[in-house]
């Protein structure tokens, strides 16, 4: 006999596990299906974020920055650190341990909240049923009043440089390198390329970033992106903008890439010992049985939603698999809204106020609209800009690179966007989110007393 649930969630990433826990907390009988096999050879919960995304990348960013500080930044404080070395396997093992602890924590939360966990592949069947194919190949059918698709996303591959033998790798491979590359070529100057490029640059690799467009981080406020590029260039990262890869040949010496100007022109070659392909991610919907419930993904692979409802009755979509930024906190917000709606509660989320952070050094944190977006929308706006070079805390810490820029409506002064670049700004952007949620004016922020000396003042 099939088991009956109020909610069956497919995928246990930040969208899926938050949805499952919230549903159970609201008294709904809930199951969550996950198929990802982690390092221990067992199903690991937590999705991309915990296993191969946010958490492991930030762990390596932290370790590599400590190494960089010990080697380069202590001197100015009169601290001499001699013979500083890096043990890459130990660094990677620390990261693996953090991942293990956190993914195990989700399993504990499932138990504590009464979520039934199924290990295997989830597939939609007709008549509100979901089939689970276990790791042993056996199938079982769950009856589901509501199904939530939280199947996440996968890296996009690039035909001229297919992933090869741990040499041409995606982000997952770049988190697992066992040695510091001599020359790492990164294809794509987006968030992953710059964060993981930074890890290996700090550890001593020569890093060249190839970007198709004439700028880095499309979507980010232009002035902020240019400032980040200058800072990373000073750290030794090389950028080749307006460049496309037309072929890649891997052999014993590493990889030889053929490059051309994006606008067309002569081909030149570039030698690397590792290549990281980081040109974006695509929603993951393979094998979900979408056709059986009359659903189809759009041109970008996305499943559309209206208030997290898909076009099929009783089927909901959240996280990377649907529209909006591919960010863990966005998936979590959608999870809560989705479950509250299933439970019959009124719930809204403000898609205008989703912060994003690039965890390079300096960090970049932004929320709301950038200058180019305001100009395209013909909005009249004011710019308030303050450089960290004039902030006492930043000067004390000898980290005065970057600025904070507040964009507000020219007439009402309502904050429309906040863009920060500097050390630690990931912890400061939350204040801008609160201000925007409360429709604050830039003056409201200016009149709020902040502690001294801090970056926040």
Q: Does 363 bind ligand NAD (CB under 6 A)?
A: no
What lies within 8 Å, CB to CB, of 18 at 6+ separation is 331, 332, 335, 336
Inter-helix orientation angle 191-202/54-68, to 10°: 40
Among 328, 342, 415, 440, interactor with ligand FAD by CB under 6 A: 328
What lies within 8 Å, CB to CB, of 383 at 6+ separation is 371, 405, 406, 407
Q: Does 188 bind ligand NAD (CB under 6 A)?
A: yes
Candidates 43-51, 209-217, 235-243, 400-408; binding stretch for ligand FAD (CB under 6 A): 43-51
Inter-residue long-range contacts of 117-121, CB under 8 Å, 24+ positions, other chains counted: 117/12, 117/31, 117/32, 117/34, 117/45, 118/31, 118/32, 118/33, 118/34, 118/142, 119/33, 119/34, 119/35, 119/43, 120/33, 120/35, 120/43, 121/33, 121/35, 121/287
Q: Does 190 bind ligand NAD (CB under 6 A)?
A: yes
What 3-state class would DSSP assign to 20? Answer: helix
DSSP 115: P
Q: Is 419 a catalytic residue?
A: no
307: left (phi over 0), alpha (psi -120 to 50) or beta: left
The interface mask with ligand NAD, positions 276-305, x = CB under 6 A, is: --xxxx------------------------
The interface mask with ligand FAD, positions 137-156, x = CB under 6 A, is: -------------xxxx---
CA distance 172 to 39: 12
CA distance 246 to 262: 10
CA distance 14 to 161: 30
Report the nearest approach of ligand FAD to the CB of residue 217 (Å).
14
Report the nearest approach of ligand NAD to the CB of residue 386 (Å).
24
Inter-helix orientation angle 88-113/14-25, to 10°: 30
Candidates 72-80, 97-105, 283-291, 381-389; binding stretch for ligand FAD (CB under 6 A): 283-291
Among 13, 188, 190, 402, interactor with ligand FAD by CB under 6 A: 13
The interface mask with ligand FAD, positions 348-387, x = CB under 6 A, is: ----------------------------------------
Candidates 45-53, 373-381, 411-419, 436-444; binding stretch for ligand FAD (CB under 6 A): 45-53
Query: How many binding residues for ligand FAD (CB under 6 A)?
Result: 35
Q: Does 195 bind ligand NAD (CB under 6 A)?
A: yes
Contact positions with ligand NAD (CB under 6 A) in 309-348: 325-327
The interface mask with ligand FAD, positions 427-456, x = CB under 6 A, is: ------------------------------
Contact positions with ligand NAD (CB under 6 A) in 53-92: none
Report the nearest approach of ligand NAD to the CB of residue 356 (Å).
6
Inter-helix orientation angle 191-202/222-234, to 10°: 20
The CA-atom distances, in angstroms, between 15 and each of 260, 298, 339 are: 39, 20, 11
Report the nearest approach of ligand FAD to the CB of residue 99 (Å).
12
What 3-state class would DSSP assign to 369? Answer: coil
Contact positions with ligand NAD (CB under 6 A) in 121-160: 158
129: left (phi over 0), alpha (psi -120 to 50) or beta: beta
Catalytic residues: 452
Which residues lie near ligand FAD (CB under 6 A)?
A: 10-16, 33-36, 47-49, 53-54, 57, 121-122, 150-153, 171, 192, 284, 287-288, 319-320, 326-329, 331
Residues that bind ligand NAD (CB under 6 A): 158, 187-193, 195, 210-213, 218, 244-245, 278-281, 325-327, 356-359
């Amino acid at each position: 006999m099939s088991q009956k649930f109020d909610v069956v969630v497919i995928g246990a990433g930040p969208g899926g596990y938050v949805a499952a826990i919230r549903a159970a907390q609201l008294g709904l009988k809930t199951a969550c299906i996950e198929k990802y096999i982690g390092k221990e050879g067992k199903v690991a919960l937590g999705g991309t974020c915990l296993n191969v995304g946010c958490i492991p990348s930030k762990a390596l960013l932290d370790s590599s920055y400590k190494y960089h500080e010990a080697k380069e930044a202590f001197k100015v404080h009169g601290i001499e650190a001699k013979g500083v070395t890096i043990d890459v396997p130990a660094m990677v093992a620390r990261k693996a341990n953090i991942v293990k602890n956190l993914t195990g924590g989700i399993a504990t939360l499932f138990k504590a909240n009464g979520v039934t966990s199924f290990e295997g592949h989830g597939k939609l069947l007709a008549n509100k049923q979901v089939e689970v194919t276990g790791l042993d190949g056996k199938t079982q059918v769950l009856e589901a009043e509501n199904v939530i698709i939280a199947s996440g996303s996968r890296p996009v591959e690039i035909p001229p440089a297919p992933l090869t033998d741990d040499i041409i790798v995606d982000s997952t491979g770049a988190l697992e390198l066992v040695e510091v590359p001599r020359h790492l070529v990164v294809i794509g100057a987006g968030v992953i390329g710059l964060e993981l490029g930074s890890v290996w640059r700090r550890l001593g690799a020569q890093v060249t970033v190839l970007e198709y467009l004439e700028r880095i981080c499309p979507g980010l406020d232009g002035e902020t992106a240019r400032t980040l590029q200058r800072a990373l260039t000073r750290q030794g990262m090389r950028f080749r903008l307006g460049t496309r890869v037309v072929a890649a040949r891997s052999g014993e010496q590493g990889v030889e890439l053929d490059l051309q100007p994006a606008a067309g022109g002569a081909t030149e070659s570039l030698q690397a010992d590792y290549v990281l392909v980081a040109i974006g991610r695509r929603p993951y919907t393979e094998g979900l049985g979408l056709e059986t419930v009359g659903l189809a993904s759009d041109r970008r692979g996305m499943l559309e939603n209206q208030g997290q409802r898909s076009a099929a009755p009783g089927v909901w979509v959240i996280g990377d698999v649907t529209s909006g930024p591919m960010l863990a906190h966005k998936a979590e917000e959608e999870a809560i809204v989705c479950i509250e709606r299933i439970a019959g509660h009124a719930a809204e989320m403000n898609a205008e106020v989703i912060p994003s952070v690039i965890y390079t050094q300096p960090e970049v944190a932004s929320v709301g609209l950038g200058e180019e977006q305001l100009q395209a929308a013909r909005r009249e706006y004011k710019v308030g800009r303050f450089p960290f070079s004039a902030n006492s805390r930043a000067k004390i810490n000898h980290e005065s690179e970057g600025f904070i820029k507040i964009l507000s409506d020219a007439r009402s002064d309502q904050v429309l966007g906040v863009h920060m670049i500097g050390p630690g700004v990931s912890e400061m952007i939350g204040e801008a989110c609160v201000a925007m949620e409360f429709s604050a004016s830039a003056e409201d922020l200016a009149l709020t007393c902040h502690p001294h000396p801090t970056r926040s003042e």
